[in-house]
Structure 1
Amino acid sequence: MLTLPRPVRCLGLTLLAASTLAVGRDLDQDEALELRHRGTIVPLERLLEAALGRYPGARLLEAELEEEHDRYEYEVEILTPEGVVREIKFDAATGALLKDEEDD
């Protein structure tokens, strides 16, 4: 078994912890429903229409609500008629478009 020197192990743990904090978290349906009832986030349906409207004929692949960078975001993945997967992010509180890019 390979044993790393203590400074290298500590750096690895620090980087792992930092990357975990930066990623954010997915919210479950109960949390999303509560936020919607409180008026904290806009309905997902409204933003799905906006995402699909950007690419007529596109199909929805996935949609999720995330808490990232101290805000709620909807992440929507669609498949365009040309076969390109796009990742579109919206601010879940305002509905503002945050990102629209080809997904890797």
Structure 2
Amino acid sequence: MSFVFRPPRLALALAFLAVTSVAVAAGDDLDEYDDDHDQARQAVEQGSVLPLAELLARTRDTLGGEVVGIEFEQEGGRYIYEFKVVMPSGELREVYVDAKSGSIIGSGRD
């Protein structure tokens, strides 16, 4: 006599819901980053901000670590890049750069 295990349908349904809800949440985050990219591209094309490559070249020595993440934001009427930087000590810091001038305008721990 052989026994075949069949998980209850409720468990399968719950597992499916868990997986799809995580996928939807991840998709929402990706949409936010897509919007950042589009907004940054438009601002560069309009001459409102410097290209990201130029900002990274200008600030690379000053940042003091490795850039592992970048966000593009508009705050108080100006565009700002938020660089997530891993310092040589392993500390994660956020460095805020004015996207038009390339000036570092602030930093803090993440």
TM-score, scaled relative to structure 2 = 0.60
1:84 lines up with 2:87 in the alignment:
no
The answer to whether the 8 A contact 2:71-2:83 is kept is yes
Percent of pairs with identical residues? 29
SS in 2 for 1:28: helix
Distance 1:91 1:59 in 2: 19
Structure 1 residues without counterparts, runs of 5 or longer: 1-24
Greater RCO between the two (CA within 8 Å, min separation 6)? Answer: 1
Alignment of 1:27-66 (within 5 A): 27-56=35-64, 58-66=65-73
The answer to whether the 8 A contact 2:50-2:100 is kept is yes
Instruction: Specify whether residues 55 and 82 from structure 1 end up closer, same or farther in structure 2 by C-alpha distance, changes over 3 A only.
Output: farther
In terms of fraction of residues, the more helix-rich structure is: 2
Q: Which has the larger radius of gyration?
A: 2
SS in 2 for 1:81: coil
Deviations 1:2-60 (A, max 9, x none): xxxxxxxxxxxxxxxxxxxxxxx97521221111011100111222234431255x222
